[in-house]
């Protein structure tokens, strides 16, 4: 394959928030995950220091919370102050002690240096309850909720900039689901009240690649919105936990761009190009939670609760997850003119890139993808095109053969002028592929990569089969050839100053 990169055309600056994350009150993401009071590894606020360090290393830019489906029956006022009121979480059918609420979440965000992004209750909640939450977080002293925050020991406002009206309120599975027309009116009223409290907020609202839903939403509320929120899980195994194999996961990469393309077209058609996409929940695989989002509910905990532990089987998070994740991040970089935020779901436990246990953490394969992209890739996206990209016919989850391009590359530059970096993914399960780079550049070349010893490589307690490796390749020259290992994620840097090499 030949790759051509035009360094003379103006580069597009990508928003670092495309490397964002998400955490929900589901299974062990909060309790026993990032928040574990009494554990020797936790700090004075009950937050796991090893988890915080891992989040800092991948420079989490923004963290969406508290849901997810959880938020649609969550009332934030019960989870602030000294007298916490436990709630029965109607989405996931467990009791939440409400000991981790707004104040604890803000502490978490401050400690890792990320922007908070709060998703509000648009299921059983009201527009007023949503705007009350903004009062608590953002007003200095005015009103009862700012005064309540001060009494709770937090004198200065949190200044939360990013807010979402609702979660997946278009879906029958969501508590308080809405029709398209109902949704447009509710979002308008919520956005109006939130903007009256703090005009500096940036608002998103739940959407999907559906014409009727989005037209109603944007017709009613487009004037108030800065973002439109979409979600994506490709391997929909929430009821079965029947994982697609490696090749089927590579077939999924053919459809990564579908919803972005549709939403982009609608925004352009409606003259709303200022609204950007927040892909604020995404992962290759859906979370396993059988007999909950179905008409027939599980009766015993063995039917609906205990099976969730299977989400934490580390052997299942392999190079398939890593390669898909890299392809998704490449898509976000290529579409950085409209995608300004993306949130990997979740960051801790379940399908997350960090796994916690009593005595430590495991960094799954996907963690190292984020490490590569945030710490080695450039911040400006360059125009590039390829010739003769190898194509393989792979079997999809439905046993049909689909053609899949094996190489996925995004070219970037560093805005400080220190060089270039390419994110190069080889999807092929067992064959290395070579590409020839035609680019006007100079400097020493280094490659930073993960591949594992097979497509099924994983990390677990006492087992590290996927780690970042580094190689120096000498001086770059136009037409230089690079060999990409099978099932690998690579960042190739060309830098005259040897920075990060």
Write down the domain spans for the chain.
2-9+380-495, 14-376
Q: In which band, very low, low, confident or very high, does the pLDDT at 499 lie, cut at 50, 70 and 90?
A: low
Strand 162-165: give its sheet, edge to edge: 202-205, 162-165, 115-120, 62-65, 20-22, 339-344, 276-285, 227-235
**Residue 7: other Cβ atoms inside 10 A:** 14
Per-chain mean pLDDT for the chain: 96
Count Cβ atoms below 10 Å from residue 185 Cβ, excluding itself.
16
Give strand pairing partners of 410: 423
Structure tokens at 393: 């016919």
- Rg of the Cα atoms in the chain: 23
Helices (H) and strands (E) in the chain, counts: 11, 27
Query: Which whole number is the average pLDDT over 333-358?
Result: 98
Return the H-helix or E-strand segment holding 329: helix 319-334
Mapped to the 3 state alphabet, what secondary structure does 107-172 carry? HHHHHHCCEEEEEECCCCCCHHHHHHHHHHHHCCCCHHHHHHHHHCCCCCCCCCCEEEECCCCCCC
| pLDDT attached to residue 500 | 54
Tens digit of each residue's pLDDT (9 = 90 or more) over 229-250: 999 999 999 999 999 999 999 9
DSSP 282-315: EEEE----TTTSSSS---SHHHHTGGGGGGG-GG
**CA neighbours within 13 Å on the CB side: how many for 217?**
33
Q: Which residues pair with 469 in a beta bridge?
A: 449
pLDDT tens per residue across span 451-498: 999 999 999 999 999 999 999 999 999 999 999 999 999 999 999 865
Contact between 407 and 1 under an 8 Å Cβ cutoff? The reply is yes
Structure tokens at 479: 């037409």
Mean pLDDT across 20-27: 98
Q: Are 288 and 313 in contact (CB under 8 A)?
A: no
Q: So what's the architecture of 2-9+380-495 in CATH? A: Sandwich (2.60)
- Mean pLDDT along residues 280-308: 96
pLDDT value of residue 290: 97
With pLDDT > 70 as the criterion, what percentage of the chain qualifies? Answer: 99
Cis status of the peptide bond prior to 274, with omega within 30 of 0:
no
Q: How many CB atoms lie within 10 A of CB 69?
A: 25
Query: What pLDDT does 211 receive?
Result: 84
**Could you tell me which residues come within 8 angstroms of residue 134 by beta carbon, excluding any fewer than 6 positions away?**
160, 163, 194, 197, 198, 201
Burial class from Cβ neighbours inside 10 Å (0-12, 13-18, 19+) for residue 4 reads middle
**pLDDT value for 63:** 98
Using one digit for the tens of pLDDT, what is the confidence trace for 185-232? 999 999 999 999 999 999 999 998 788 899 999 999 999 999 999 999
Bridge partners of residue 282, in order along the sequence? 232, 344
**Euclidean distance between CA atoms 4 and 388, whole angstroms:** 12
Mean pLDDT of 289-313: 96
Mean pLDDT score, 407-432: 97
Residue 496 confidence (pLDDT) = 82
Report yes or no: 384 and 3 within 8 Å, Cβ to Cβ. Answer: yes
pLDDT digits (tens, 9 = 90+) for 36-75: 999 999 999 999 999 999 999 999 999 999 999 999 999 9
- Tens of pLDDT, residues 160-175: 999 999 999 999 999 9
pLDDT of residue 78: 97
Look at the chain and count its residues.
501
Within 10 Å of residue 435's Cβ, how many Cβ atoms? 23
Q: What is the pLDDT of residues 349-397, one digit of tens each?
A: 999 999 999 999 999 999 999 999 999 999 999 999 999 999 999 999 9
CATH 3.40.50.2300 fits 14-376, yes or no: no
Confidence of residue 501 (pLDDT cuts 50, 70, 90): low
Check: pTM over 0.95? Answer yes or no.
yes
Residue 499: phi and psi, rounded to 5, are -65, 130
219: which strand partners?
none
């Amino acid at each position: 394959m030949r790759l051509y990169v035009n360094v003379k055309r103006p580069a597009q600056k990508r928003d670092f928030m495309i490397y964002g994350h998400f955490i929900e009150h589901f299974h062990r993401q909060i309790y026993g995950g990032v928040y574990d009071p009494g554990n020797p590894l936790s700090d004075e606020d009950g937050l796991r220091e090893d988890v915080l360090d891992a989040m800092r290393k991948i420079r989490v830019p923004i963290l969406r919370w508290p849901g997810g489906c959880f938020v649609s029956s969550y009332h934030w006022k019960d989870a602030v102050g000294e007298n916490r009121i436990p709630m029965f979480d109607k989405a996931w059918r467990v009791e939440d002690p409400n000991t981790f609420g707004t104040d604890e979440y803000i502490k978490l965000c401050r400690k890792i240096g990320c922007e908070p992004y709060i998703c509000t209750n648009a299921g059983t909640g009201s527009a007023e309850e949503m705007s009350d939450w903004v009062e608590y977080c953002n007003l200095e002293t005015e009103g009862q909720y700012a005064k309540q925050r001060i009494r709770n020991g937090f004198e200065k406002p949190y200044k939360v900039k990013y807010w979402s009206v609702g979660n997946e309120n278009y879906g029958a599975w969501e508590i308080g689901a809405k029709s398209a027309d109902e949704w447009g009116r509710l979002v308008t009223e919520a956005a109006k009240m939130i903007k009256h409290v703090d005009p500096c907020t940036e608002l998103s609202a739940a959407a999907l690649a559906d014409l009727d839903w989005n037209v109603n939403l944007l017709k009613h509320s487009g004037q108030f919105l800065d973002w439109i929120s979409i979600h994506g899980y490709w391997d929909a195994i929430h009821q079965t936990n029947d994982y697609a194999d490696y090749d089927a996961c590579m077939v999924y990469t053919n459809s990564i761009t579908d919803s972005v393309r549709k939403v982009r077209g609608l925004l352009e058609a409606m003259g709303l190009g200022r609204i950007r996409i927040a892909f604020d929940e995404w992962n290759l695989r859906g979370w396993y939670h059988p007999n909950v989002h179905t008409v027939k509910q599980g009766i015993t905990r063995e039917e609906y609760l205990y099976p969730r532990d299977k989400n934490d089987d580390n052997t299942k998070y392999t190079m398939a997850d890593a390669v898909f994740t890299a392809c998704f991040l490449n898509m976000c970089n290529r579409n950085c003119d409209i995608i300004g935020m993306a949130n990997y779901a979740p960051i801790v436990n379940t399908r997350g890139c960090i796994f916690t246990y009593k005595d430590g953490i495991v960094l799954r394969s996907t963690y190292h993808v984020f490490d590569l992209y945030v710490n080695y890739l450039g911040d400006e996206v360059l125009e590039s095109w390829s010739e003769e990209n190898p194509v393989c016919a792979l079997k999809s989850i439905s046993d049909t053969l689909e053609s899949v391009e094996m190489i996925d590359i995004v070219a970037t530059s560093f805005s400080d002028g220190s060089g270039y970096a390419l994110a190069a993914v080889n999807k092929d399960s067992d064959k290395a592929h070579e590409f020839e780079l035609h680019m006007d550049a100079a400097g020493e070349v280094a490659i930073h990569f993960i591949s594992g010893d097979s497509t099924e490589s994983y990390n677990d307690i006492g087992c590290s089969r996927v780690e970042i490796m580094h190689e120096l390749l000498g001086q770059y020259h136009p037409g230089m050839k690079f060999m990409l290992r099978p099932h690998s994620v690579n960042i190739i840097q060309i830098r005259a100053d040897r920075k990060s090499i």
